[in-house]
Homo-oligomer: A and B are copies of this chain.
Amino acid sequence: MAEVIVLGIDPGTRCTGYGVVREVSGQAVLVAAGAIRPPAKATMAKRLGEIYKGIAKVIEQYGPHEVAMEEVFTYKNVTSALKLGQARGAAMAACAVHGLEVRGYNPMAVKKSIVGTGRADKNQVAYMVAQVLGTKARQECESWPADVTDALAMAVCHLNSRRLARLTEAAGGMR
């Protein structure tokens, strides 16, 4: 089975988390994880430029085949929706310019896919992500902020969803 590399992104104007996950023989393994943090006093344009360049660098370095990002439907207010939209726009543009499509996942679906319930809290998601992604992940997970865990959760959810699609297809073929 061909190896697949997935990039998960959790965009934000102050901190954009990313996680790169590789599937080897049906097992998800951590490749890299980190966060893009533009300088605190940077203008909005500079922040968005940093997000674009940061994601572009991750893509060039790890060569992901697919990208997963959270779909958000509820916001505190329109100002936060606009800000988040701008961060998403910079990150998605970097993916598209590198020929990558971005698959969106509902936050509840991500939690359900990883912890088994859509009502899991951040700690439960973080714990399961570290357990699932192998030894390196369990060693590094202490240093991950929530944005990194969320980005990795997205990547793992995307791999789960691909696996399920393959199984469903295989079951259809055996009938």
Q: Which residues of A contact B (CB under 8 A)?
A: 43-53, 67, 72, 74-75, 77-79, 81-97, 100-102
Q: Within the complex, which residue of B52, B81, B85 is in contact with A96, where a contact is CB–CB below 8 Å? A: B52
Minimum CB–CB distance from A96 to chain B (whole Å) comes to 3
How would you classify the secondary structure of chain A's contact residues: helix, strand, loop or mixed?
helix
Cross-chain contact A101 with B48 (CB below 8 angstroms): no
Cross-chain contact B89 with A48 (CB below 8 angstroms): yes
Cross-chain contact B82 with A45 (CB below 8 angstroms): no
Which of A47, A52, A83, A89: most chain B CB closer than 10 A?
Answer: A89
Residues of B within 8 A of A97 (CB): 49, 52-53
Minimum CB–CB distance from A72 to chain B (whole Å) comes to 8
